[in-house]
């Protein structure tokens, strides 16, 4: 599937930021059977294990980081968090055809940049009113981060405290956030489709209490028009 002519998303500058931004971009989702994929959202990956109701594999993606220039009035005095590659292990399991609840989990290693481990636990299922031409999914999610990741993203070192004016803050590992997402896809024709994804999440633990954090409740809206081959 290749996306055009347009796709875009409205999201916060970074986790915990006050302002939002609109970020247009392409939608690319290429899959070879149920074996390999290349996707803007999921990266380059392979389903190492796959069956009628489960799959598990490994993927290579990226983390956008947090450059100070993105929001200098708030991040001045803090270090840049550069963009970095991410290695991800993932798995998903469908309960049954009669009860199509999908349980999913992944663990990611950010190599450089935020430099740490982060993982997600979640579930979603089709909603009443879905059909072959109009499909809706919704479900909750939880995100965790290890001490290194949380400290790099939400912590404030002694040097940074002097330069930025923020109090020194040690961010510990643990729960990073909890959220709920909704996705709807309308197959306009055999090849053209319109997709909308939205989610709301709440920062938890050190992510919520960090002096860098301005907004604990976050949101994202992604819209896409795509053509499937």
In whole angstroms, what is the distance from residue 181 CA to residue 98 CA? 22
User: What is the pTM assigned to this prediction?
Assistant: 0.88
In whole angstroms, what is the distance from residue 27 CA to residue 124 CA? 22
Counting runs of H as helices and runs of E as strands, what totals does the chain give? 4, 13
Query: What is the 8-class DSSP label of residue 52?
Result: S
- Of 81, 83, 107, 103, nearest in space to 93 by CA: 103
**How confident is the prediction along the chain (229 residues), in pLDDT tens digits per residue?**
433 334 444 455 788 988 777 777 777 888 998 899 998 888 999 999 999 999 999 999 999 899 999 889 999 999 999 999 999 999 999 999 889 999 999 999 999 999 999 999 999 999 999 999 999 999 999 999 999 999 999 999 999 999 999 999 999 999 999 999 999 999 999 899 999 999 999 999 999 999 999 999 998 888 888 888 8
Which residue bears the tokens 């290429």? 30
In whole angstroms, what is the distance from residue 73 CA to residue 90 CA? 37
In whole angstroms, what is the distance from residue 49 CA to residue 55 CA? 5
Angle (CA) 134-136-141 rounded to 5° is 160
Neighbours of 76 (CB within 10 A): 12
**Confidence at residue 20, expressed as pLDDT on a 0 to 100 scale:** 74
In whole angstroms, what is the distance from residue 27 CA to residue 7 CA? 7
Q: Decide: 110 and 63 in contact? Cβ < 8 Å.
A: yes
Strands, E assignment, 70-115: 84-94, 102-110
**Confidence at residue 3, expressed as pLDDT on a 0 to 100 scale:** 39
SS3 state of residue 101: coil
**Confidence at residue 4, expressed as pLDDT on a 0 to 100 scale:** 37
Q: Which helix (H) or strand (E) holds 205?
A: helix 205-209
State in words which class domain 2-227 has: mainly beta
Cis peptide, bond prior to residue 95, ω within 30 of zero: no
**Confidence at residue 19, expressed as pLDDT on a 0 to 100 scale:** 79
In whole angstroms, what is the distance from residue 31 CA to residue 88 CA? 17
């Amino acid at each position: 599937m290749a996306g055009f002519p347009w796709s875009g998303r409205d999201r916060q500058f970074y986790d915990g930021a006050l302002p939002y931004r609109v970020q247009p971009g392409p939608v690319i989702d290429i899959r070879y059977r149920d074996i390999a994929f290349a996707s803007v959202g999921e990266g380059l990956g392979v389903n190492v294990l796959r069956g009628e109701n489960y799959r598990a594999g490994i993927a290579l993606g990226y983390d956008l980081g947090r450059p100070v220039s993105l929001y200098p009035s708030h991040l001045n005095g803090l270090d840049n968090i550069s963009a970095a590659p991410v290695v991800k292990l993932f798995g998903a399991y469908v309960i049954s055809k009669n009860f199509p609840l999908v349980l999913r989990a992944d663990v990611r290693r950010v190599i450089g940049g935020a430099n740490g481990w982060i993982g997600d636990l979640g579930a979603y299922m089709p909603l009443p009113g879905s059909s072959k031409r109009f499909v809706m999914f919704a479900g909750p999610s939880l995100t965790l981060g290890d001490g290194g990741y949380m400290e790099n993203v939400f912590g404030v070192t002694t040097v940074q405290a002097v330069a930025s004016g923020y109090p020194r803050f040690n961010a510990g590992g643990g729960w990073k956030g909890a959220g709920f997402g909704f996705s709807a896809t309308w197959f306009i024709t055999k090849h053209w489709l319109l997709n909308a994804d939205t989610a709301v999440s709440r920062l938890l633990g050190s992510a919520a209490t960090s002096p860098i954090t301005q907004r604990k409740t976050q949101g994202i809206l992604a819209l896409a028009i795509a053509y499937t081959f």
